[in-house]
Amino acid sequence: MNYRAAFWFPIGLLAALAGLSLWLQYALQAPNAGTPLTRKHIADYIVENFNATRTDLAGKPENTLSARKTEHFLDDDTTQLEAPDFTAFDKQGGTVNVRSAHGFVSSKGDIIIFTGKVILVRDLHDAQGPLTLTTEYLKVIPKQHLMLSNRPTVVQGKNILIHAGALQLNSQTRELLLSHHVKTHYEPIH
């Protein structure tokens, strides 16, 4: 038997294990403190009880956005919302209100995404009263007055119940477009 191989084999095995241990420690270690924040998805500021109002040139409110908690992220310039509440005002004095569990505002502030249990209430200026829409996802584009969902939606009114697979609502014209397997139950107003 070769005594040199018998001597060096355990030493080589221990060296390989030590190298593997060092590599694992380095691979699992947290990044250096010197790493810039732009590489991490870390909130650079947090605001509680957030409220904002967008007005037209005459100073009349166009929409409001509030949230229980707002977190802004520096790396992608986005904002996450906890319990967001958005209200759009139309020119006739009506409103469309959206509430949900969570929300997200794009980096330019031109898109708001509502997720979780989303409840949209559109008030009406007639005998039918308000319409309530529930879904799990709603995309709002405030400048275009559009509210869109590609998820199952339930619409309830005074005498109507509608199930649909998608919706599009213009908050100014109050036009509601429902699509994808729409089922309606309507009871006439007496």
Q: According to the model, what pLDDT value does residue 82 have?
A: 95
pLDDT confidence of 22, banded at 50, 70, 90? confident
Residue 171 CA neighbour count, 13 Å, CB half: 26
Q: According to the model, what pLDDT value does residue 38 have?
A: 43
User: Contact 154/127 with Cβ under 8 angstroms?
Assistant: no
Do 127 and 156 fall into the same domain?
yes
Question: Which residues are bridge partners to 87 per DSSP?
Answer: 64, 97
Tell me the per-residue pLDDT of 91-105, one tens digit each, with 9 for 90 and over. 877 889 999 999 999
Do 2 and 62 fall into the same domain?
no
Do 10 and 101 fall into the same domain?
no
CA of residue 26 relative to chain centroid, distance? 35
Beta strands in 56-152 (DSSP E): 61-73, 78-82, 85-89, 95-99, 102-105, 112-122, 131-141, 146-149
Which uninterrupted H or E stretch holds 154?
A: strand 153-156
Which uninterrupted H or E stretch holds 26?
A: helix 3-28
Do 61 and 143 fall into the same domain?
yes
Do 139 and 84 fall into the same domain?
yes
The span from the CA of 183 to the CA of 167, in Å, is: 13
Q: According to the model, what pLDDT value does residue 31 have?
A: 57
Do 83 and 175 fall into the same domain?
yes
Do 42 and 14 fall into the same domain?
no
In the structure, how many helices (H) and strands (E) does the chain have?
A: 1, 14
Do 130 and 42 fall into the same domain?
yes
Do 66 and 3 fall into the same domain?
no
Tell me the per-residue pLDDT of 37-87, one tens digit each, with 9 for 90 and over. 445 778 788 889 999 999 888 888 999 999 999 999 888 888 999 999 999
Q: What is the residue range of 19's domain? A: 1-30
pLDDT confidence of 187, banded at 50, 70, 90? confident
Number of domains in the chain: 2
Q: Residue 56: which CATH number?
A: 2.60.450.10
Do 174 and 114 fall into the same domain?
yes
Do 146 and 96 fall into the same domain?
yes
Do 136 and 108 fall into the same domain?
yes
